[in-house]
Structure 1
Amino acid sequence: MPAPDSHPRATVIPCLRYRDAPAAIEWLCSTFGFQRHLVVADEQGGIAHAQLALADGSGMLMLGSLRDNAYGRAMRQPDDVGGCTQSIYMVVADAEALYRQALAGGAQIVIDIKDEDYGGQGFTCRDLEGHVWSFGTYDPWH
């Protein structure tokens, strides 16, 4: 596996808020394979700021605890608005293996694993707080 510094850095980084950010960090790492890059706790037992990275350095996710501040009021949880207005797509080498991990981790499957008409194989699920994630072997760069 190439060293993280040998990859171009991602310049679009999704940011999410969670009611229980410490639990979300644990779940995202164990279920989707992220690694803690930086985690800053707050004084209330939540997360002020966290950066989770993919092991190969090709992607990152930032997250924090839901807050009643200007940024927090701009962000709404999926269950607050009856669904999501965005989703995250992640290119993976083995969609079937990640699908099994997602099921084992308690993800709610939205679209079952399937071969896509445009190429690749993938599925879509909701994480423990309802954020929508899609995973697939289709790589739009290739």
Structure 2
Amino acid sequence: MASTIIPTLRYRDAKTMIAWLCDTFGFERHAIHESENGGIVHAELVYGDGMVMLGDARDDAFGSLQAPPAGDRPVSQSPYVVVKDVEQLYAAARAAGATIVMDLRDQSYGSREFSCRDPEGHLWNFGTYNPWKVGE
């Protein structure tokens, strides 16, 4: 079996963010597991062949390692998502209130991309550069 890398994120309000990520970026719900009180214990969202896993921020062993961004704390990860129509996604992100931190631009390596923060501050990168297709 081949190895796969799947980014994991914790959100203060994962249920709201699942809807936002799906509506804004085009992720699709693969699996959603709710707690008895309606919170999100674990969710899997897919985008093409990629996936992110997420859940509510909570006080547990993993949560103490991966708290949502706050104040001056540096971001420890920022997913890069390969997209076909980066202009459409850029417009959707702006319309949905994402904070654009790197405006849409062409890169010297042939990609067109932008970076933004979602409503809870996680950094997302979107572009046309696909490292699996270099040289094809």
Shared fold (TM-score greater than 0.5)? yes
Per-residue CA shift, 1:16-73, capped at 9, x if unaligned? 000000000000000010111100111232101100112x3x1111000001010111
* One of 84, 87, 92 as aligned partner of 1:96: 87
Amino acid at match of 1:17: R
- Once superposed, what is the RMSD of the aligned Cα atoms? 1.4
TM-score calculated relative to the size of structure 2: 0.92
2:76 maps to 1:85: yes
Q: 1:10 to 1:18 in 2, by over 3 A?
A: farther
Amino acid at match of 1:138: Y
Structure 1 consecutive aligned stretches of length 4 or more whose deviation exceeds 6 Å: none
Q: Distance in 2 between matches of 1:16 and 1:81?
A: 18
Aligned pair partner of 1:44 in 27, 37, 40: 37
For structure 1, the residue ranges without an aligned partner over 5 or more in a row are 1-8
- Cα shift at 1:81: 5.1
Amino acid at match of 1:30: D
SS of equivalent residue, structure 2 residue 76 = coil
Change (3 A) 1:27 1:10: farther
| Greater mean alpha carbon deviation, residues 67-76 or residues 78-87 | 78-87
Q: Which runs of 5+ in 2 are unaligned?
A: none
Code of the aligned partner of 1:110: V
Local SS of the residue matching 2:6 = coil
TM-score by length of 1: 0.88
What amino acid maps onto 1:16 in structure 2? L
**Using the alignment, how far apart are the partners of 2:82 and 2:105 within structure 1?**
15
Between the aligned partners of 1:10 and 1:27, the Cα distance in structure 2 is: 29
Q: What is the CA-CA distance between 1:85 and the residue it aligns to? A: 2.0
Residue 63 of structure 2 corresponds to which residue in structure 1? 72
Distance 1:138 1:80, change over 3 A: same
- CA shift at 1:105, angstroms? 1.0
Equivalent-residue separation in structure 1 for 2:93 and 2:120 (angstroms) = 14
C-alpha separation between the residues in 2 aligned to 1:10 and 1:133?
23
1:130-141 equivalences in 2 (<5 Å): 130-141=121-132
- The residue aligned with 1:6 is none
Whole-Å separation in 2 of the counterparts to 1:90 and 1:28: 12
Percent identity of paired positions between Structure 1 and Structure 2: 52
Distance 1:40 1:86 in 2: 24
